[in-house]
Amino acid sequence: MYLAEKIDRRLLELESKWTGRMRKSTIVRQLQEAVKPFGAIVLWEKSAKIKAHDYWIKAFFYWNRRNQPVEVIWEFSAKSPYFDWDKVNVRHTLFLLSQALQHELIHKSQFAPRDSDHYKFDFYLPINHRKTGAAKEHLEYLSMFDEMDTFGHDIAMEIKYHYPKHDPYEVLRTIEKRKLLTSWGYYKKAFKGLKWKAVHDRVLKNAHKWLPYVTVMEKK
């Protein structure tokens, strides 16, 4: 069984547990138990900016952390210690969790053969722009070879999840018409107004590379 299938299998076991009104701490604890075998730790944050029934999922890979190098952060609203699953698509939430976890596990595999004492993290395709500060760093982040690879995987997952009855290569070919591929939309928004053909083509090439290998849970 592929790692992706193992991840989805463990996450889908939570679907029957995540119903009705639940304590957020219970949700996080159950998720931690599900992803611990993959070397991940789950944390949660309270945000005053997030609405009561919304959430935000983030994940990180820490190359210098030996135990549980993948960190998943679930950001909830600070308004209540409870979360109401009746107002959320549980299956889609599980898909997003799987996608975030797989994204970081790919980073882990990318880093495995590297010499951590000498590796440079600035390997990216140069983009001609005049942005500075955080905006410049964001473009450089999305232009890194590692990120273009993992986001290509994210796009392939979204194609298989959102368009299961379509030819995935046709969806990729007509990607500009597809509204549900949020990872591709993320790139388009970041590079709007810039000449980014090199990054554009490399991300789509990576998505094409990943399409035969990605497996996703069935959409509900």
pTM confidence score: 0.93
- CA dihedral over 45, 48, 49, 55, signed as positive or negative: positive
What's the pLDDT at 1? 55
- 165-176 burial by CB neighbour count: b if 16+ within 10 A, else e? eeebeebbeebe
Tens of pLDDT, residues 55-98: 999 999 998 888 889 999 999 999 999 999 999 999 999 999 99
Backbone angles phi, psi at 44, to 5 degrees: -135, 150
DSSP 66-104: SSS-EEEEEEEETT-SEEEGGGS-HHHHHHHHHHHHHHH
- If you ran DSSP here, which 8-state letter would residue 217 be given? P
Domain spans of the chain, in order of start = 3-111, 133-210
Tens of pLDDT, residues 45-54: 999 999 988 9
DSSP 12-44: HTTTTT--SEEEHHHHHHHHHHHHGGGTEEEEE
For the chain, list residues with pLDDT below 50: none
What's the pLDDT at 209? 98
